[in-house]
Amino acid sequence: MKEILETEVLIVGGGPAGCAAAIELARAGRDVTIIDKADFPRDKCCGDGLTADALRILENVGLEPSTVQNWNNIMNVIIHSPNGKIIELPLPQGRGQYAAVVPRIELDESLLNLAQNAGASVYTPVRFGQIKELNEHVEIATSDERKIVSRYVIAADGMWSSVRKAVGAGIDNYRGDWHAFRQYFSQTGPEAQHLRVWFEPDLLPGYMWLFPLPGQRANIGFGVLRGSHYEIGDLGKLWNNLLERPHIREVIGPKAIGEGNRKAWPIPSRLMDLLPYKGRIHFVGDAMGAADPMTGEGIAQALRTGRSSARAMIKAGPFKSLQAGETYQNAISAELGHDHRLAGKLQKLLERPKTAEMALHLADSNAWTRRNFARWMFEDYPRALVLTPNRWSSNMFNFDGAYQKNSATLTEPKAISSIVLGGD
């Protein structure tokens, strides 16, 4: 063994969940250490889409959009229904950001820098090896032959969480609930400047997306539920087939070319089935199966669960691990439980093209439904808010977006005359 390192909280995994936890702990004056097996900046197979909920938490932790090169604020959404109907959904304008697309290679590096600046110690590339649970502390052996002794461990090590496996808290043969592909494209056409979602009948309740990036680039991908229409082995062929469908190719543009290889990765949405903590170990983000069962989005959920775990540890202090675990469990159940259950039910409804078409038809009824469906889709407020009166407040449907203070630079450019004259 090379060295023994002591820390109050060890976080395994420096993605959004791990960083949100680290920032919260470090700012509360706790001694916190992150290890990650990757060398940053590192890519993460993802759609790069940030919902209003994710954006508000990122603003809260102090992430500045201007410091992230390819941050793309999204102003409207175009949905292609199973019958091919095109529905345009506007997001509120001039009130901050409600959706954005940010390449994970940039987002995650910025978050890790924020954690380090807040005071967290970061060791990369260092892989989790073994774990020994003792009464008052936990011992971890790492790939660089270090032994780390800590009061708590936060397992933020993603879908295949090695920490979860090592402590026997996983589900046998679990391979995630969604399986998703994505690839970056450059030289995309003008129609690919908008955020698009295609509800192709053979993908339902899954969908295909095009999330635009600056410089005529886009993150394009699709996700399907495991065991729905296709065998996992056939998804590569399906990917090629989707890209050749004329109504999709037309939007991507004739000159668009794929960058590098397409990547595929599972998405876990099992918040209600997985153990949230075991003794002094908390599971957060994908390691907690926290992604939304209806859309597969997991960044906001990773940030939320990471932050809640940290808060529970801060509140309980280093010795009351049972209290920390229970507080964390209650927090995620209150923050995400209702929404996960509702999203799970809606996922079942969206399986049938007819019901999906009907739901989209309703969303497209008038300007109000279009505006509010877009906000609901992008998690401007919790999915099950209307069904949970304990979370109601007088302005619950009227929150500003994130980064409101920056919104002047992000909305449509003002007319030259108004800038010169100083008017609005």
Residues at the site binding ligand FAD, with contacts judged by CB under 6 A: 12-18, 35-38, 44-49, 127-128, 156-158, 162, 180, 182, 221, 265, 267, 285-286, 291, 296-300, 302
* Shortest Å distance, C-beta 219 to ligand FAD: 8
Q: Which is nearer to ligand FAD, 16 or 92 (CB)?
A: 16
Q: Which is nearer to ligand FAD, 13 or 276 (CB)?
A: 13
- Residue 266, classified by CB atoms within 10 Å of its CB into exposed (0-12), middle (13-18) or buried (19+), is buried
* Shortest Å distance, C-beta 289 to ligand FAD: 10
Select from 330, 328, 337 the least CA-distant residue to 383: 337
* Shortest Å distance, C-beta 244 to ligand FAD: 20
Q: Which is nearer to ligand FAD, 305 or 319 (CB)?
A: 305
Q: Which is nearer to ligand FAD, 128 or 277 (CB)?
A: 128
* Shortest Å distance, C-beta 127 to ligand FAD: 4
* Shortest Å distance, C-beta 236 to ligand FAD: 14
* Shortest Å distance, C-beta 397 to ligand FAD: 22
Q: Which is nearer to ligand FAD, 129 or 337 (CB)?
A: 129
Q: Which is nearer to ligand FAD, 212 or 221 (CB)?
A: 221
Q: Which is nearer to ligand FAD, 25 or 302 (CB)?
A: 302
Q: Which is nearer to ligand FAD, 38 or 361 (CB)?
A: 38
* Shortest Å distance, C-beta 115 to ligand FAD: 12
* Shortest Å distance, C-beta 179 to ligand FAD: 8
